[in-house]
Amino acid sequence: MIWDWAFAIEILPRLGQAAIVTVQATVMGFALAATLGLGLTLARIAWPRTALPISVGVELVRSTPLLIQIFVLYFVGPEIGLVLDALTAGTLAIGVHYAAYCSEVYRAGFEAVPRSQWEAAEALNLNRGTALMRIILPQAIPPVIPALGNYLVALFKETPLLSAIAVLELMQTAKIIGSESFRYTEPITLVGLFFLGMSLISAALIRLVEARITQGVRR
Amino acid sequence: MMQDPMVRFQNVTKRHGSHIVVDGLNLDVARNEKVAIIGASGSGKTSLLRMLMALDPVDSGEIFIEGEPLTHMERQGKRLPPDMAHIRRMRGKVGMVFQSFNLFPHLTAMGNCIEAPMRVLGLTRAAAIERATELLEMVGLASRKDYYPSQLSGGQQQRVAIARALAMRPKVMLFDEVTSALDPETVGEVLTVIRRLGEEHDLTMMVVTHQMGFAREFADRVCFLHQGRICEEAPARDFFHNPQNERTRAFLRAVLEAG
């Protein structure tokens, strides 16, 4: 028989443990991506002089494979005194990689706020920083939340890359189970199903949030 | 030249690329005077207000508010370009209402009116709310204070925008075609508010408008702009009854024919 139910159930607890690591990496990675991405965008607006270096950095990160970035951080990092455990290094790499994407999303959000909003703030004598944080930011974020949600799902689906540096997340655990038992069908299938289920749930949540936001805008 | 004007434009020029928008313009506005500025689109009316609001810099010339220069500053007898602190201090004397309202859509009517007083004037929330409540009452929108801009009609939004600008206690109020984006039936309510403002408050007002009837009965003086210069200016009665300049006559004819 190709599919062994008994074996599938037997490995579930181990995969469950690994799923926690996957979710951890996703949550931490995305938290970093969302905040760092926003920070980069705000810096670009508040201090125009930082715009060029930030753009170069963002382009560099977006134009090189995430896998290579993970390797660089984990294997080359120690050479320059940056010693991180695999999960931290991997999460950091994923977070920075997606921060680059998120910052572009945020930027689109800020650019979509009409110039006249800046002018109205200026005419009321609000300084640039206050205008940015109190007037522009609250208008720039809600429209881009769905796009950020899509990156959350994308980031989640890329966490198996962490298996390349032996983080005991789902994919790595499935591979280990496979090499121990010579049965790959069950672990790999279960991992796939887990990602499918979580992605579908996330997508539904994003749609829900999106609907609420559109409602808020029409208010 | 006027004695002790509230606002003085002295030989002010503004270019957009090679196009001269305002061309060596001189204009004095007295304290509490109501000046209507009329003219075809592109004649420099809006530029004039935007420079006074310090939204756009002048290319040459000087603007004074209460005798103090906006466009430069003097330090130890030296003439320097204005820094941000100087611009912000001078800008505090001026308030502006825009053609397209430009209310903050994520804030309620009240929120729109208290944000700047709290952040810029340092008012407490309670004090800002008290002041804003009075102003919203004055523009007839006290009952709508918790509505968001998108829940208000154009005329109501524009009245909130007027209250928002007044909350900063400006000495000069600028109105930039504030009824042009409104449905015809809501124009009246906004003009009524501006009229009352002129009657009940010590405010210098500069009103760019296409509403000739309003300019005639509201303004002390009317200035007709043509190609970035004041082509004709006169007390409102004289201006409309007996325009001197051929261009003014042509403009008034065209506007009146359009209805």
- pLDDT, one tens digit per residue, over B145-156 is 999 999 999 999
Judging by DSSP bridges, how do beta strands B68-69 and B60-65 pair with one another?
antiparallel
Residues of A in contact with B54 (CB under 8 A): 122
Q: Which residue of B has its CA nearest to A215?
A: B150
In a domain, B2, yes or no: no
Residue A215's pLDDT band, with cuts at 50, 70 and 90, is: low
Domain CATH code at residue B24: 3.40.50.300
What mean pLDDT value characterizes chain B? 93
Instruction: Evaluate whether B69 touches B58 at the Cβ level (below 8 Å).
Output: no
**Sign of the torsion formed by the C-alpha atoms of A31, A37, A38 and A40:** positive
Do residues B125 and B182 both lie within one domain? no
**B240-250 per-position pLDDT tens digit:** 888 888 999 99
Q: For B184-213, what is the mean pLDDT? A: 92
Q: How many whole angstroms separate alpha carbon A18 and alpha carbon A94?
A: 18
Residue B77 Ramachandran class (φ > 0 left, ψ -120 to 50 alpha, else beta): left
Interface residue B150 vs chain A (CB under 8 A):
yes
pLDDT the model gives residue B76: 85
Report the topology of domain A5-218: MetI-like fold (1.10.3720)
Q: How many whole angstroms separate alpha carbon B219 and alpha carbon B198?
A: 9
Cross-chain Cβ contact B55/A120 below 8 Å: no
Interface residue B87 vs chain A (CB under 8 A):
no
* Domain end point (choices B115, B142, B169): B169
In a domain, B251, yes or no: yes
Residues of A in contact with B91 (CB under 8 A): 122-123, 125
pLDDT the model gives residue B142: 94
**A110-148 per-position pLDDT tens digit:** 999 999 999 999 999 999 999 999 999 999 998 999 899
Given a cut of 90, is residue B89 above it in pLDDT?
Answer: yes
In a domain, B187, yes or no: yes
In a domain, B223, yes or no: yes
Q: State the best of A116, A117, A125, A134 to mutate against chain B, taking most chain B CBs within 10 Å.
A: A125
User: Which residue in B227, B203, B209 sits closest to B36, CA to CA?
Assistant: B209
**Chain B residues 25-84 within an 8 A CB cutoff of chain A:** 53-55, 84
pLDDT the model gives residue A166: 83
**Sign of the torsion formed by the C-alpha atoms of A10, A11, A14 and A19:** negative
pLDDT the model gives residue A168: 86
Range of the domain at B134: 103-169
Cross-chain Cβ contact A123/B120 below 8 Å: no
Q: How many angstroms separate the Cα of A217 from the Cα of each of A107, A114, B143?
A: 19, 15, 22
In a domain, B1, yes or no: no
Do residues B19 and B89 both lie within one domain? yes
Task: Measure A32 CA to nearest chain B CA, in Å.
Answer: 27
pLDDT the model gives residue A93: 95
Do residues B118 and B210 both lie within one domain? no
What mean pLDDT value characterizes chain A? 91
Do residues B121 and B247 both lie within one domain? no
Q: How many whole angstroms separate alpha carbon A21 and alpha carbon A18?
A: 5
Q: For A4-8, what is the mean pLDDT? A: 87
Do residues B87 and B181 both lie within one domain? yes
Do residues B165 and B183 both lie within one domain? no
Q: Which residue of A has its CA nearest to B120?
A: A126
Q: Token pair of B130, please?
A: 């008290």
Which one of B104, B120, B165 has the shortest CB-CB distance to A117? Answer: B104
Distance of CA A14 to the CA centre of its chain: 25
In a domain, B98, yes or no: no
In a domain, B51, yes or no: yes
Do residues B42 and B70 both lie within one domain? yes
Q: How many whole angstroms separate alpha carbon A15 and alpha carbon A4?
A: 16
Q: Quote the number of domains for chain B.
A: 2
Task: Measure B87 CA to nearest chain A CA, in Å.
Answer: 9
Residues of A in contact with B148 (CB under 8 A): 219
Interface residue A134 vs chain B (CB under 8 A):
yes
* Domain end point (choices B169, B197, B213): B169
Q: How many whole angstroms separate alpha carbon A201 and alpha carbon A84?
A: 32
**A149-199 per-position pLDDT tens digit:** 999 999 999 999 999 998 888 898 989 998 998 988 889 999 999 999 999
Given a cut of 60, is residue B101 above it in pLDDT?
Answer: yes
